[in-house]
Amino acid sequence: MMGERRALTPFQPTGPYPQVMLDLPTGTAIPLSAAARGERIVIAGRLLDGSGAPIFDAMIETWQADATGCYAHPHDPRAAGADPGFWGYRRVATDNDGRFLIETIKPGPTSPSDGGNVRPAPHVVVGIYGGGIPYRYVTRMYFGDEPANGTDAILALVPERRRSTLMARRDGNTYQFDIRLQGEGETVFFDV
Amino acid sequence: MSVTSDSSIYPRPAAGVHPPNTTADYRSSRLRHPKEPLVVIPHTPSELTGPAYPYGHLAALDADLTKQHAGEPIGQRITLQGRVLDEDGRPVPQTLVEIWQANAAGRYTHAKDNNRAPLDPNFSGAGRTLTDAEGRWRFVTIMPGAYPWPNHYNAWRPRHVHFSLFGQNFLTRLITQMYFPGDPLHALDPVMNSVPDPRGRERLICAFDIDRTEPDWALGFTWDIVLRGRHATPMETR
């Protein structure tokens, strides 16, 4: 199966119009199925630049486990138990106010990494793309009201003063999660 | 395949392969990059999984951008094709490849594109396909036009097609742009030149391919895309 070593294709920005791709009426724009198990939530936030101005030409994508913490992917040892009614991928363009809205279900605690026995706190992986963003940003949204945040191995790698930037605030069934690319309250981004 | 969270099987890209988060010449990146350092994390099941399955629904004409409307779009008809591979040269089968692009006049089908060029009612400019068992993909479309943009005085984007790919997991995700050979705008483009390594910039340019050019019908271009790979580690050497 192995072939000749190949050099990576470099990243380039989406530019300001990722919506053109998202507008193609088939494919990944799958609405949250009525059959999905778990608590229905909305992730709502704004994407802001270093001056606090909204970023209106970006795309936010999310990847997460189902309500019991299973990923529908062969790498997850619990994949066989993944909810067939739920697909953990979402992507949306930001609007004129930099807002994004993602309807999903609240993920459960995922499997620990090999060699670990502490289950990670529930979280959503977030990718950010757009005009003026040459290489994607990766962050995580955690749920501010989860006691497991205190023992999460990834959160422990984040300087304590900055952890609050990863915490979504609950308001009814909505979790508010603003993303600041630069400056005061700058969101923590990960090198993966 | 053993399940492991050992980061060494997905080594981080070498410095200079991807663009830095900002460059002085790419103006809109100035307020859109973090000033704090990125936090390096090990690869957990959240990164080693990803939206690889299921792929969603594809319509028959998603890969032919010239047949999505009642009439044919204006422009030079072209075919784009190639393979998706990983860094070890393994084909990436059954992965989603998506494209979007400007029309022949250099305008996107988007309300905020105010380039003074005509829209084409027969061209939306987005396509989608799956790679086959050997990692091959193909689109039929039209040659996109170059277009002006406000980055600096008399700034023009070279002709390009945007690509979005998923690969095996969240680590292999790639969004990029493919350029056409021989375009004099390459050397002047801050977006293409945000890639530090000149060899990396070369890898963003497709090749004209007379063998893929169809007589009396369409010019052919080929381009291989290389995603981050799951390298064999010394422990796994056989």
Instruction: State whether A20 and B32 contact (CB < 8 Å).
Output: no
Does B211 map to a domain? Answer: yes
| Nearest CA among A107, A74, A93 for reference residue A175 | A107
Chains A and B form CB pairs within 8 A to the count of 271
- The reported pLDDT for the residue numbered A28 is 57
Q: Say how many domains are in chain B.
A: 1
Quick check: B192 pLDDT over 50? Answer: yes
Does B69 map to a domain? Answer: yes
Domain span including residue B56: 8-228
Portion 130-159 of B in contact with A at CB < 8 A = none
Does B155 map to a domain? Answer: yes
Does B1 map to a domain? Answer: no
> Cα separation of A141 and B3, whole Å?
25
Instruction: Measure CB to CB from residue A77 to each of B3, B13, B99 and give the nearest one.
Output: B3
Q: Is the dihedral of CA A118, A119, A124, A130 positive or negative?
A: positive
Tell me which chain B residues have a C-beta less than 8 angstroms from the C-beta of A50: 30-32, 35
CA distance A13 to chain B (A): 6
- The reported pLDDT for the residue numbered B5 is 43
Does A7 map to a domain? Answer: no
Portion 15-34 of B in contact with A at CB < 8 A = 17-23, 26-34
> Cα separation of B45 and A26, whole Å?
28
Q: Encoding tokens for residue B97?
A: 């490849």
| Nearest CA among A172, A166, A167 for reference residue A187 | A166
- The reported pLDDT for the residue numbered B75 is 98
- The reported pLDDT for the residue numbered B4 is 44
What are the pLDDT digits (tens) for B200-209?
999 999 999 9
Domain span including residue A46: 18-180
CA distance B184 to chain A (A): 19
- Give the pairing of strands A99-105 and A89-93: unpaired
> B70 and chain A: CB distance < 8 Å anywhere?
no
Quick check: B36 pLDDT over 70? Answer: yes
Asked whether A37 and A70 are in contact (CB, 8 A), the reply is no
Q: How many CA atoms lie within 13 A of B163 on its CB side?
A: 35
The identity of residue A190, as a single letter, is: F
Quick check: B95 pLDDT over 60? Answer: yes
Does A2 map to a domain? Answer: no
Question: Mind listing the pLDDT tens digit of every residue in chain A (192 residues)?
Answer: 567 889 999 999 999 999 999 888 655 566 788 999 999 999 999 999 999 999 999 999 999 999 999 999 999 989 999 999 999 999 999 999 999 999 999 999 998 887 778 899 999 999 999 999 999 999 999 999 999 999 999 999 999 999 999 999 999 999 999 999 999 999 999 999
- The reported pLDDT for the residue numbered B55 is 57
Q: Say how many domains are in chain A.
A: 1
Does B34 map to a domain? Answer: yes
> Cα separation of A122 and A109, whole Å?
5
Q: Encoding tokens for residue B166?
A: 């998923």
Does A53 map to a domain? Answer: yes
Does B238 map to a domain? Answer: no
Q: In angstroms, what CA-CA distances link B8 with A160, B43, B232, B234? A: 27, 9, 9, 10
Tell me which chain A residues have a C-beta less than 8 angstroms from the C-beta of B164: 14, 21
- Tracing tokens 């990944």 back to the chain, one arrives at A28
Does B2 map to a domain? Answer: no
Tell me which chain A residues have a C-beta less than 8 angstroms from the C-beta of B89: 2-6
What's the CATH code of the domain at B16? 2.60.130.10
Tell me which chain B residues have a C-beta less than 8 angstroms from the C-beta of A5: 87-89
Asked whether A9 and B225 are in contact (CB, 8 A), the reply is yes
Does B235 map to a domain? Answer: no
Instruction: State whether B173 and A65 contact (CB < 8 Å).
Output: no
